[in-house]
Amino acid sequence: MPSEAVLVEGARKRYGDKDALDGLDLAIGRGTVHGLLGPNGAGKTTTVRILATLLRHDEGLVRVAGHDVRTGAREVRRRIGLLGQHAALDEELGGRQNLEMFGRLHHLGARRAGTRADELLERFGLADTGRKPVRHYSGGMRRRLDLAASLITEPEVLFLDEPTTGLDPRARGEVWEAVRSLVGGGVTVLLTTQYLEEADRLADRISVVDRGRVVADGTPDQLKARVGADRVDVVVRDATRLDEAAGLLPVARAEVTVDVDRRRVGAPVADRMAALAETVRALGAAGIEAEDIALRRPTLDEVFLRLTADEKEAAA
Ligand SMILES: Nc1ncnc2c1ncn2[C@@H]1O[C@H](COP(=O)(O)OP(=O)(O)OP(=O)(O)O)[C@@H](O)[C@H]1O
Ligand SMILES: [Mg+2]
């Protein structure tokens, strides 16, 4: 058994003269959650559709659960589950009936389909509403039912294409809980998202995609570290002392940024606690009053904007 549940090397997919995938690489370890993070049109759905054998790639190697998607499509299909960007539920049927139907479509016997439906409803907190028609479900309930449907066949690898797009924060939290609960069972999850927070919360590793290629990958912490160190920011009460304050931060003067409108000086620092202590001491010694002093780490948003901006510069 290869250690990767998903392995993609140099995948290309072209639509007319447009490269939807332009040499995409991806390696996902078994039993992990991998986030594919990218803006609209980055190639996320194209990647998922190729992995799920719904679309053929033009070039490159693509293996899922140990099988090549070209030569072993049947083997791959048997081992995967897919939650598409748009749901495929029957609005008039209840949640339980929907799941039973999915089970029958996947060749489960009637009894097995029924017990599997009940297990999944229970697991996703839908047991009480299993008989209510889906058109009366909230957005979060629908998405959890979708998720349940994608698990009917007990897949080894599960693809979730933007599982929480369009959901309110509460429903999004419910879906996150549901996804987390899968991982204990050993399922490998590939999740696409435009939400940095979602990737940060759920994924063990993240690949940032932009224009059909991976522009960065690593753990959320590694990605944050790539963009730079922690920062110290100081808001000075008296704007006339801003320059003086800038000179007191414990880094080279060239590293300090000064925001006159906000009366703020800031700089990246190596040792955050020592830098904070030194900043407080130096400001105090100089008699400069601070309205606010903060230590902060770069957010994944900053990482993302920075990485995709680098890519644009490289392409220009
Ligand atoms: N059937 C198609 N015909 C032509 N171009 C397509 C087709 N499907 C996708 N594309 C193009 O390929 C690129 C990648 O699309 P894809 O749907 O994979 O992006 P995505 O990352 O899933 O975006 P979104 O966040 O909007 O879902 C886009 O430029 C898109 O316009
Ligand atoms: Mg998409």
Kindly list the domain boundaries of the chain, sorted by start residue.
Answer: 4-219, 229-297
Ligand index nearest the alpha carbon of residue 57 = 1
The span from the first CA to the last CA of the chain, in angstroms, equals 42
- pLDDT score recorded for residue 195: 85
Across 175-203, b (16+ Cβ under 10 Å) vs e yields bbebbeebbeeebbbbbbbbbbebbbbbb
C-alpha 259 – ligand 1 centre gap (Å): 39
The Å distance, Cα 191 to ligand 2 centre, comes to 11
pLDDT value at residue 290: 96
Residue type, 132: K
pLDDT at 292: 95
Ligand 1 atom 12 nearest Cα: 20
Q: How many C-alpha atoms does 308 have within 13 Å on its Cβ side?
A: 17
Cα 4 to chain center, whole Å?
Answer: 19
Q: Is 263 left (phi over 0), alpha (psi -120 to 50) or beta?
A: left
208 lines ligand 1 (CB under 6 A): no
The residue to which tokens 């601070």 are assigned: 290
> Using an 8 Å Cβ cutoff, are 168 and 88 in contact?
no
Q: Is 40 in the pocket of ligand 1 (CB under 6 A)?
A: yes
* CB contact set of 193 (below 8 Å; sequence gap of 6+): 35, 36, 37, 162, 163, 164, 165, 199
- CATH architecture assigned to 4-219: 3-Layer(aba) Sandwich (3.40)
CB of 193 closer than 6 angstroms to any ligand 1 atom: no
- Nearest 5°: phi and psi at 144? -70, -35
What is the structure's pLDDT at 86?
66
User: Ligand 1 pocket, 97 CB below 6 A?
Assistant: no
Distance 227 CA to ligand 2 centre (A): 26
Q: For residue 2, what pLDDT is reported?
A: 61
Query: What is the whole-number distance in angstroms between the Cα of residue 109 and the centre of ligand 2?
Result: 34
Q: Which ligand gives the minimal distance to the CA of 13?
A: 1
Beta-ladder partners of 268: 231
**Distance from Cα 192 to the centre of ligand 2, integer Å:** 8
Residue 143, pLDDT score: 87
- Options 3.10.20.90, 3.30.70.1560, 3.30.70.100, 3.40.50.300; CATH of 229-297: 3.30.70.100
Q: Is 42 exposed, middle or buried (0-12, 13-18, 19+ CB in 10 A)?
A: buried
- Does the pTM exceed 0.85? no
pLDDT, block means (10 residues), the chain with 316 residues? 87 96 97 93 96 97 97 95 80 94 90 94 89 90 89 91 87 86 86 89 94 93 76 94 95 88 90 92 96 84 72 66
Burial class of residue 73, CB neighbours in 10 A (0-12, 13-18, 19+): middle
Which residue of 46, 83, 191 sits with most ligand 1 atoms within 8 Å of its CB, as the best mutation to test the pocket?
46
- Burial of 221 (C-beta count, 10 Å sphere; 0-12/13-18/19+): exposed
